Amino acid sequence: MVHRRAKHKTIKICPSCQSTQISPILGGILGPRYVCEACGYSGALILEQDLPDDVE
C-alpha cells in the first residue's frame, strides 16, 4: 500500500538568520541553490515549514 501525502504549501526559511526572503539562484543536475536577501547566505540547504491549510 502506498500512502501519498497531500500537497501542502510551504515557506522557505534561511538557516542562518531565519528570514523568509529566499530566492532561487541556480538549478540543474545538482539541485537548486538559494540566496537569502536579508543576510546574504548562499547555499543548497534551506529550511521549509508547512503552512496551515487556511493560509493562502
Instruction: Give the residue extent of every domain in the chain.
Output: 10-50
Report residue 54 CA to chain centroid gap.
Answer: 19
The closest alpha carbon to 22, from 6, 38, 2, belongs to 38
pLDDT (tens digit per residue) in 12-47: 999 999 999 999 998 778 889 999 999 999 999 999
Give the model's pLDDT for residue 28: 77
Greater pLDDT, 55 or 28: 28
